[in-house]
Amino acid sequence: MPARSLRPTALAALALLAPALLLTACDSTGNGNGSGSSIAFVAGKTGDPFYITMKCGASAEAKKLGYSFSATGSADWSVPEQVTAVNSVTANRPGGVLISPVDPNSLAAPVKTLQSAGTKVAIVDTSLTDTSLGVTHISSDNTQGGTQAADTMAGLLGSSGEIVILTPDLTTTTTNARIDGFKQQLAAKYPGLKIDDIRQVGDTAQGAASAVGDELAAHPTLTGIFTANSQTGEGVGTGLKNAGRQGKIKVVSFDAGPQQVQALESGAVDALISQDPYGIGQQAVDQLANALTKKPVTDPIHTKLASITRDNLHDPALAHFLYKADC
């Protein structure tokens, strides 16, 4: 998640969505047509470097295994738009689909219809409440990611401090798990680090930037900010700069897209908790291929995370944790 904000699911909104909202990615070499030799990807948010990197991994693995590959989704983290995307993919009847559901409940029915039509489904990154859907479930261990964020924050702040958490919403499964891991680790190991507020700011950098000013006013002794996804992380540096506090408040942010890395290098943030979206895409295609060829399928799979700071940013061993802007 990258995890992100939601829109209403009214049927009227569905009816008004134009097919142009579906963004078909490069690397598409087949059209499905009911063929078990095709694999499709439905992203949570097509322009997000996290999902771009996941697409790159899935596309490369599909090509290696001899499957045609296509990708679709929407520019926003939106239930109606993703439902439309899933319905479009279902009509093409691909052999396998990897999908990152933008809502744990609203996407259950479309995914069930897709699966009932004979398509093998891999649930990636986010999850559905109905865990019976999908032949495999592949994601970062987001609770562990929150734990790593707490350890990293403690390394920056020491034994005491006041922290605010910024999150796009309190609905998305990935960001909720990160927050839970962060809170649990602070309570267990760092009792001197206190959480002043957990604030929903929406899935935009602008929302996060605006919230920073409000939080600084409400908590003048604030010393740290943890942002639960890439969009909130992108806005924090702007908010702190506007308030004249950049460099004085320690920031730990989730994800490592090009903008997050630039913010780390400039000092706008102090650490990134990075996922392995390329690996998630690869492994999803591997497991779909196993399901299609009636081989054993591994379920669930949790991929690794890394804590990236200015000190280790250029370590070759961590290079695969940095996200791509394109393939």
User: At 181, which CATH number?
Assistant: 3.40.50.2300
The answer on 132 and 27 residing in a single domain is yes
The predicted-structure confidence for 163-206, as pLDDT tens digits, reads as follows 999 999 888 888 999 999 999 999 999 999 999 999 999 888 89
Query: Which stretches in the chain have pLDDT values below 70?
Result: 1-35
Is 322 part of any domain? Answer: no
Amino acid at 37: S
Is 5 part of any domain? Answer: no
The answer on 124 and 28 residing in a single domain is yes
Q: Structure tokens of 158?
A: 């020491």
* pLDDT for position 1: 53
In the chain, how many domains are there? 2
Is 58 part of any domain? Answer: yes
The answer on 185 and 106 residing in a single domain is no
The answer on 23 and 134 residing in a single domain is yes
* pLDDT for position 76: 86
* pLDDT for position 296: 98
The answer on 36 and 115 residing in a single domain is yes
The answer on 109 and 87 residing in a single domain is yes
pTM of the model: 0.81
Amino acid at 325: A
Phi, psi (deg, nearest 5) at residue 110: -60, -40
What would the DSSP string read from start to end of 201-242?
A: --SSHHHHHHHHHHHHHH-TT--EEEESSHHHHHHHHHHHHH
Helix (H) or strand (E) holding 292: helix 277-292
How far is 90 from 200, CA to CA, in rounded Å? 34
The answer on 223 and 246 residing in a single domain is yes
* pLDDT for position 25: 37
Q: Structure tokens of 73?
A: 């989704």
Is 316 part of any domain? Answer: no
Find the domain containing 223 and state its range.
142-254
Q: How many CB atoms lie within 10 A of CB 197?
A: 15
Amino acid at 116: S
Is 183 part of any domain? Answer: yes
The answer on 297 and 219 residing in a single domain is no
Is 264 part of any domain? Answer: no
Residue whose token pair is 């190991």: 189
The answer on 247 and 159 residing in a single domain is yes
The answer on 35 and 179 residing in a single domain is no
* pLDDT for position 58: 98
The answer on 132 and 47 residing in a single domain is yes
* pLDDT for position 35: 55
Is 77 part of any domain? Answer: yes
The answer on 184 and 115 residing in a single domain is no
Is 282 part of any domain? Answer: yes
Q: Which of 20, 272, 301, 281 is nearest to 137 (CA)?
A: 301
Q: Structure tokens of 256?
A: 């490592």
Residues near 225 by beta carbon (within 8 Å), at least 6 away in sequence: 163, 164, 165, 166, 212, 215, 236, 240, 249, 250, 251, 252
